[in-house]
Amino acid sequence: MKGLIPRIHAPFSVSPAFFLILLITWCLSTLPRIVNATSLTYSIAAHEKACFYAHVDKVGEKIAFYFAVQSGGAFDIDYIVTDPRGQLVISGDHERQGDFIFTANYVGEYSFCFANDMSTFAEKLVDFEITVENEPRAEFPQRPSAPEISTNMEDSLYRLSGSLNVVGRTQKYFRTRENRNLSTVKSTENRIFWFSLLESALIVGMAGLQVFVVRTFFNIRKGQWV
């Protein structure tokens, strides 16, 4: 069986392309461990207060908070963000959407609450995302012979990640605009339908009233002639 195994006498060398592929694969497998994100869509009933929580392991981590009201009422919601001590971080009333990034100064659970107290009966559909990300960059494996390749690839990956985040934000913005415009179109269609129905009922009522008046008039005139 040993005669079937080929012997390689040439020195083994890794091409730069193969090294870049391994680096990209390692980065993609490491990024989910660096970033902890939660993207949800929640329907908040009238007079309801819903809270969500994100845990921070160490001081200095970046927390990104994004929300947008997709449907319901005037597309507004009250929100409040508090730190583990219960102190206010950010808040707002009757806001349609928001996009915030702040630094966690304390370890523990940060609460993100939405309140629909201003609505009497309208439910609010809120699309939000909470992201907890470590500020320092990940340490990538480097080859002693070509450290500049690893540095350039690291910078390129972070620029690509930033561009993808911008694209994601833009897609969320257009999704929100589409949902709101669709809700406006549906509301306008309903108003046109009920207005047309009311207009038709008024026309039929006026026609019936005219017939009644004319018949009453001729009946009175006929009684007077007799």
Instruction: Kindly give the confidence (pLDDT) of every residue in the chain, 226 residues in length, as a single tens digit, with 9 standing for 90 and above.
Output: 434 434 434 343 445 555 555 555 555 455 444 445 556 888 898 888 999 999 998 888 889 898 988 888 788 899 999 999 999 999 999 888 888 889 999 999 999 999 998 777 888 888 888 888 764 555 555 555 555 556 777 777 777 877 787 787 778 778 777 877 887 888 888 889 999 999 999 999 998 888 888 888 777 655 555 4
pLDDT of residue 15: 52
Q: Which two tokens stand for residue 212?
A: 């009644």
Q: Which two tokens stand for residue 75?
A: 């597309």
Q: What residue spans define the domains of the chain? A: 34-135, 149-208
- Helix, strand, or coil (residue 187): helix
Flag whether the pTM goes above 0.85. Answer: no
Question: What does residue 27 show for φ and ψ, rounded to 5 degrees?
Answer: -65, -45
Q: Which two tokens stand for residue 96?
A: 């349609």
β-bridge mates for residue 65, sequence order? 100, 130
pLDDT of residue 163: 78
Alpha-carbon gap, residue 55 to 132, rounded angstroms: 8
Tell me the CA distances in angstroms from 42 to 72, 96, 105, one per residue in order: 12, 15, 28
pLDDT of residue 89: 94
Angle of the 147-225 helix axis to the 16-34 helix axis, nearest 10: 50
Alpha-carbon gap, residue 82 to 115, rounded angstroms: 14
- Helix, strand, or coil (residue 30): helix
Greatest alpha-carbon pair distance for the chain in Å reads: 134
pLDDT of residue 32: 44
Range 34-135: architecture per CATH:
Sandwich (2.60)
Cβ-contact 104, 90 below 8 angstroms: no
Beta strand pairing call for 88-95 and 97-103: unpaired
Cβ-contact 129, 54 below 8 angstroms: no
